[in-house]
Structure 1
Amino acid sequence: MNYDDAVAYYTASPKFLNVLGNDGLLKLLDFLGNPQESLDFIHIAGTNGKGSVCLMISEALALTGKKVGLFTSPFISVFNERIRINGENIPNSDLVRLTVKLKSAIETLSVELSSFAKITALAFMYFCEQKCDIVVLETGLGGRYDATNVITSPKLSVITKIALDHTEYLGDTIPEIAAEKCGIIKPLCPVLTMKNQDKGALSKIEEFAKKNNSDLIFSKEKCDFELGLSGDFQKENAAIAEAALRFLEISEENIKKGFKISRWPARFEFIKSNLLLDGAHNPDGITALLSSLKSLNRPVHFVVAMMKDKNFEKSAKLIEDFGGRITVTQLDVPRCLKAEEFKTHFSSAKAEKDAVKAVTDALNSANENEIVCVLGSLYLAGKIRKEFTNA
């Protein structure tokens, strides 16, 4: 098996198989010696901001001299970036070696696992082997049935802002989605969230915390430290990360340093002076993005593609109401909405099937001081980032 074979092994499986639950994954992990049981975790769920919160926590923790594992999804540039220790991606050689072992175990047990469950097992194996002091663990989908939720006693569970997303899996209302996210709350394990939540979400978090005898901690509204991550919305994410780190008794000096050095691709990232990438892919995330764009006081040309399972109707209205030129595009993945179909949800938009051409044309026609803003999907942001930065 080579590197490409290893990556293909994960991408060939369905991304999520919630209907299966985690019985198969637990059986696999037991066969592998339960690597997750030797690790301490900060477990993070939520609709928006999870990745940024994970990054800021991990950067500050690493400054204390700890070996810090970081598990996030999806990747932007290379598959390996989903599994990192102190900012370094899992090496290709380790990824291949551990995938061979993982694949053999799965075949021996004849268990059916989703792509995400396999990658989660891979991460646990690597972090255990490397003797990480602590792992910052981001959920993939929801919480209750998420593959990461096989862990039993995290040092802290964190729930970021909850909004409508993945409704086909998690429920049609915010309280229903919140209940799924609250599945990561464990008995007697403290949980941290933000008060600036939908009331229905906050009520569910309080309910689950009480039921599990878990101390409930609230972050302040915004963090006023200097941030390496751009966008006004990151101040809210940083406040959650700050509260988590203070709970872990990390010094303010290391918190400030960690936040300042945090860099996260495709999160309000300017890769050129007039080309902005953001992974906002639901109405709540897009609202936060637009708020940050408004503060720049520059004209905007949006280049957007979205998946069929997202709330693209409301997202389209938010983008159009903001004002500016709009080009809709698409990606070569089955879940992606076709550009011509997406175009019908705007009163005035251009459709261009080729995403790279859509961005190139937008840049070539940009007016003075105009920003070309790529949004709607982290997959789109990753594709454009690679094309325009050779990253």
Structure 2
Amino acid sequence: MRILKPAARSYKDAINALNSLQSNFASIEAMKKLGPNVNRNELSINEVHEYIRRLGYKTRDFDKLNIIHVTGTKGKGSTCAFTESILKQYKFNANDQNSNIKTNPINKLGLFTSPHLKTVRERIRINGNPINESKFTKYFFEVWDKLSSTSSSPDEFPSLQPCETVKPMYFKYLTILSFHVFLSEGVDTAIYEVGVGGTYDSTNIVQNPTVTGISSLGIDHTFMLGNTIDSITWNKTGIFKKNCPAVVSNQLEYPESLKIIEQRAKEIGVSSLDIVDEDLLPSSIKLGLAGKFQRQNASLAAKLASIHLSKLGVPQNELPDLESTDVDVLPDRFIEGLQNANWDGRCQIISNKPNFENIDWYIDGAHTLESIQVSSSWFKECMDDKLQSRNDLKILLFNQQSRENTKELLLKLYENIILKGVKFDHVIFTTNVTWSDGNYNSDLVSLNNSKELVDKLTVQKDLAQSWSELDQANNSDSRKHIFPNIETSVNFIKSLTNDVSDVNVFVCGSLHLVGGFLVVLDNERD
């Protein structure tokens, strides 16, 4: 790939270079066939350590970031969003006469998360905002050029040869880039969401986090983590560190995982292990993220934030007494943080959008059985709470392109919505292609799926057939539609609303679908 000279490089050049680092579909399929215990180099963090060395960093440099490290299967992103929102209330402001370094110990707050919805810059945030295009471009090519001009031992790292051309894969590169950005920008508190697993995840080069957290666990990424809750739990607990506190959500779906968590905490030597329930928080608090299940994530976030702030020197009287069983009041700043938390694409409702005034969009990225369970239950609750008119219309927009258990996900959604009394008039299956001309926004390009299957709409046809069989078995009659891209799907939905006063659309499935949908809804073309 041709890389332009520094003066001519643009944000688009950076995105094109980044997209070149994606695994293609064939390589992913080949790795899956090797099984979970083979080819550990793809999963290990040894290469990340080596790339960090070539950038001139040592892992102890990251201690300056005061990292909160979070993993899980379901809810880890929401937990990070709640945690970020709480910590924003403790950011130091030199212009605020009431602000002081003791009670506001954070100067710059970083968040590294994945995946992104509309732009890759969402993954690297400072003080709640994605870094801008110019900074992303600057730091992206600083890393790129440094890795192009340094080398690794051929004997120790044969997979990194030739060093001037071999670069980290997509997620590894963004992880490394985030460390470089945060250190360069003077971030002094950072929240890191694990990509996949924990033990072998690229983020797990962090040696001294202030606290680690695990949200709800479930079965996911089985070709990398194993297909049992035991192996998945073992992998997720790999972020635990000696002499570092750990906080874990109560595991309601898989309570047997708690025993493994406790064993691993003891083996690794964590300084403390707290299991938190949703009743850690007062029931009167209205959370910024919708869905009853978010109380569990908010409770985990509150505990993580409290431990972190205590380590930064915030006086105990400024922090919640979460050890008490009769807590009924939180500090105002915790309450504001929990109420103001925002996480697009997760149980998000958009209403009165220009050109779509009579449509309520219910949007949730859900890609595991556990997340489909809570997502579909959330939509069902929304419909139950809403006063329906006789002339209302309910529509499902769905895709899950790359999951091996896609039909199981669809069945879970059907059981939680259709079999519980809410009927879809139209069910739409689309690909994740953004626009009707067959193009993606450059930030949304994915090489991790079979282009042939996408072009032939193979997954979409299979899903429509599965839905038809479910309808037939349950005497239901939703109208099924298959479209090759998101823009066409959205335009079709709009065409259905001309004579209808109340339209409810459930956009569910892949976060890639959700991100592309939000781009189309806002008409944000490259």
Same fold, TM exceeding 0.5? yes
Residue 212 of structure 2 contacts residue 304 of structure 2 at CA under 8 Å; is this kept in 1?
Answer: no
The one-letter code matched in structure 2 to 1:235 is: R
1:45 aligns with 2:71: yes
What's the offset of the Cα at 1:47?
A: 0.7
1:359 aligns with 2:490: yes
What's the offset of the Cα at 1:368?
A: 5.6
What's the offset of the Cα at 1:310?
A: 4.4
Residue 59 of structure 1 contacts residue 258 of structure 1 at CA under 8 Å; is this kept in 2?
Answer: yes
Alignment of 1:1-391 (within 5 A): 1-14=9-22, 19-20=41-42, 21-31=44-54, 32-34=56-58, 35-65=61-91, 66=106, 67-107=108-148, 108-109=150-151, 110=163, 112-197=167-252, 198-214=254-270, 215-222=272-279, 223=281, 224=283, 225-248=285-308, 249=310, 250=319, 252-272=331-351, 273-296=359-382, 297=384, 300-321=394-415, 322-323=417-418, 324-325=423-424, 326-332=427-433, 333=446, 334=449, 338-346=459-467, 347=469, 348=471, 349-365=480-496, 369-390=502-523
Residue 28 of structure 1 contacts residue 105 of structure 1 at CA under 8 Å; is this kept in 2?
Answer: no
Gaps of 5+ in 1: none
TM-score relative to the length of structure 1 = 0.93
What's the offset of the Cα at 1:328?
A: 1.6
| Whole-angstrom CA distance in 2 between matches of 1:11 and 1:253 | 43
The one-letter code matched in structure 2 to 1:282 is: T
| Whole-angstrom CA distance in 1 between matches of 2:64 and 2:302 | 26
| Whole-angstrom CA distance in 2 between matches of 1:75 and 1:85 | 15
What's the offset of the Cα at 1:201?
A: 2.1
Q: Which moved more, 1:339-348 or 1:378-387?
A: 339-348
Residue 165 of structure 1 contacts residue 311 of structure 1 at CA under 8 Å; is this kept in 2?
Answer: no
TM-score relative to the length of structure 2 = 0.70
Residue 266 of structure 1 contacts residue 378 of structure 1 at CA under 8 Å; is this kept in 2?
Answer: yes
What's the offset of the Cα at 1:191?
A: 0.9
| Whole-angstrom CA distance in 2 between matches of 1:310 and 1:277 | 22
Residue 143 of structure 1 contacts residue 184 of structure 1 at CA under 8 Å; is this kept in 2?
Answer: yes
| Whole-angstrom CA distance in 1 between matches of 2:307 and 2:114 | 25
Q: Which moved more, 1:61-70 or 1:241-250?
A: 241-250
Secondary structure, aligned partner of 1:55: helix
| Whole-angstrom CA distance in 2 between matches of 1:274 and 1:74 | 25
Q: Which moved more, 1:21-30 or 1:220-229?
A: 220-229
Secondary structure, aligned partner of 1:338: helix
Residue 363 of structure 1 contacts residue 372 of structure 1 at CA under 8 Å; is this kept in 2?
Answer: no
- Are residues 71 and 206 of structure 1, via their aligned partners in 2, closer, same or farther at CA, if it must alter by over 3 Å? same
What's the offset of the Cα at 1:217?
A: 0.7
Secondary structure, aligned partner of 1:24: helix
What's the offset of the Cα at 1:101?
A: 1.7
Secondary structure, aligned partner of 2:413: helix
Residue 41 of structure 1 contacts residue 134 of structure 1 at CA under 8 Å; is this kept in 2?
Answer: yes
What's the offset of the Cα at 1:363?
A: 4.5
1:81-135 per-position Cα deviation (integer Å, ceiling 9, x unaligned): 1111111221222222222221122222215421111111111011111221210
Residue 279 of structure 1 contacts residue 381 of structure 1 at CA under 8 Å; is this kept in 2?
Answer: yes
| Whole-angstrom CA distance in 2 between matches of 1:5 and 1:284 | 38
| Whole-angstrom CA distance in 1 between matches of 2:485 and 2:134 | 34
| Whole-angstrom CA distance in 2 between matches of 1:38 and 1:120 | 16
Residue 85 of structure 2 contacts residue 338 of structure 2 at CA under 8 Å; is this kept in 1?
Answer: yes
The one-letter code matched in structure 2 to 1:202 is: L
The one-letter code matched in structure 2 to 1:340 is: K
State how many pairs are aligned. 391
Percent of aligned pairs with the same residue? 26
| Whole-angstrom CA distance in 2 between matches of 1:94 and 1:302 | 38
Secondary structure, aligned partner of 1:274: strand
| Whole-angstrom CA distance in 2 between matches of 1:91 and 1:328 | 34
| Whole-angstrom CA distance in 2 between matches of 1:199 and 1:368 | 45
The one-letter code matched in structure 1 to 2:277 is: K
| Whole-angstrom CA distance in 1 between matches of 2:288 and 2:234 | 32
Residue 486 of structure 2 contacts residue 520 of structure 2 at CA under 8 Å; is this kept in 1?
Answer: no
